[in-house]
Amino acid sequence: MNSTLMISHLTKAFGGVKALSDVSLNVTPGERVALLGHNGAGKSTLMKIILGLISVDSGEIAVCGVAPGSAVARAKVAYLPENATFHSALTGLEHITYYLRLRGEPVSGAMALLDKVGLGHAAKRRIATYSKGMRQRVGLAQALIGHPSLLVLDEPTSGLDPVSRRDFYELLDGLAAEGAAILLSSHALTEVEARTDRLLILSGGRMVAEGSLHDLRREAALPVSMHITAINGYDTDILAALPNAIRVAGNLHVTCAQDQKLQTLAHVAALKGKVADIDVIPHSLEDIYSHFSRRDGQ
């Protein structure tokens, strides 16, 4: 397979603590993958291994076809830490110029990088005067030096306002469209649901779920919840006709297993003349995430 990142049966322990157990995953060019998990689930450990900062106990890993941490891998992988820090006395332009020089890249590219992340207008202002969102963009511009094939982003949007988050994801969309693979960790479930191609859920060091939200929803097979609005006066008839219906804060509520959904809807439909409306309540990513995270006894 044409993988930018290939991980197979990876295991890592710190003393008696198993940080990662039998983790496998592939990320292909242009894919945006979100890594989700509770505190201590193993996300940072996985990122450090991908960056070549720590070794594995067993399993295989290849970044752009080579060992993580090798000179080739380091040239192709970029990392944006959650709290990137900058010398606040430097301007954005000076900062990026400095890092271009360190990487042996032409410094003439600094302005183009800042333009790419929407910071061209502030390039000559000191970073101390930048907002959190602007500093995050400097970090992204720095990460883009050398056209990385894989971007590893640790909670890149934490602390950003909704507009800055949207702008940040639009930048990532553009990079993915140019072929960069993106692996980002996040606790902001609703936003990654909309902005990534695939979700990975780590729990207790194990990869407990992987797929699109649609795949995870199907695999979780959580009970279906419905709200029924009765035509005035028919509440009691409906409750009598549907044994699994209950009254919650004045509304009628029905819960059934996934494979009972059509049958339950047919029962409700048969009550025409008594039912004004029915709403099937979709599960949020939080519900699905909790389901998989708890499966490991977390």
Ligand X SMILES: Nc1ncnc2c1ncn2[C@@H]1O[C@H](COP(=O)(O)OP(=O)(O)OP(=O)(O)O)[C@@H](O)[C@H]1O
CB of 200 to ligand X, least distance (A): 12
Pick the stretch among 39-47, 67-75, 101-109, 219-227 that binds ligand X (CB under 6 A). 39-47
Q: Applying CB under 6 A, which of residues 19, 140, 268, 285 lies at the interface with ligand X?
A: 19
Phi, psi at residue 77, to the nearest 5°?
A: -115, 135
Instruction: Pick the closer one to ligand X by CB: 19 or 189.
Output: 19
Q: What angle do CA 201, 205, 207 make, to 5 degrees?
A: 35
CB 158 within 8 A of CB 187: yes
Query: What is the rounded CA–CA span in Å between residue 10 and residue 5?
Result: 13
Q: Applying CB under 6 A, which of residues 7, 25, 36, 41 lies at the interface with ligand X?
A: 41
Q: Which DSSP category does 21 fall into?
A: E
Q: By 3-state DSSP, what share of the chain in percent is helix, strand and coil, each rounded to 5? A: 40, 30, 35
Residue 128 makes contact with ligand X by CB under 6 A: no
| Number of residues engaging ligand X in binding (CB under 6 A) | 11
Instruction: Pick the closer one to ligand X by CB: 19 or 127.
Output: 19
Instruction: Pick the closer one to ligand X by CB: 256 or 285.
Output: 285
Residue 43 makes contact with ligand X by CB under 6 A: yes
SS3 275: strand
CB of 38 to ligand X, least distance (A): 7
Q: How many other CB atoms are there within 10 angstroms of residue 24's CB atom?
A: 13
CA 144, 148, 153, 157: dihedral to nearest 10 degrees? 40
Q: Applying CB under 6 A, which of residues 10, 42, 175, 252 lies at the interface with ligand X?
A: 42
Instruction: Pick the closer one to ligand X by CB: 41 or 209.
Output: 41
Tell me the chain's radius of gyration from C-alpha atoms.
24
Q: Applying CB under 6 A, which of residues 5, 36, 37, 180 lies at the interface with ligand X?
A: 37
Q: Which residues bind ligand X (CB under 6 A)?
A: 14, 17, 19, 37, 39-45
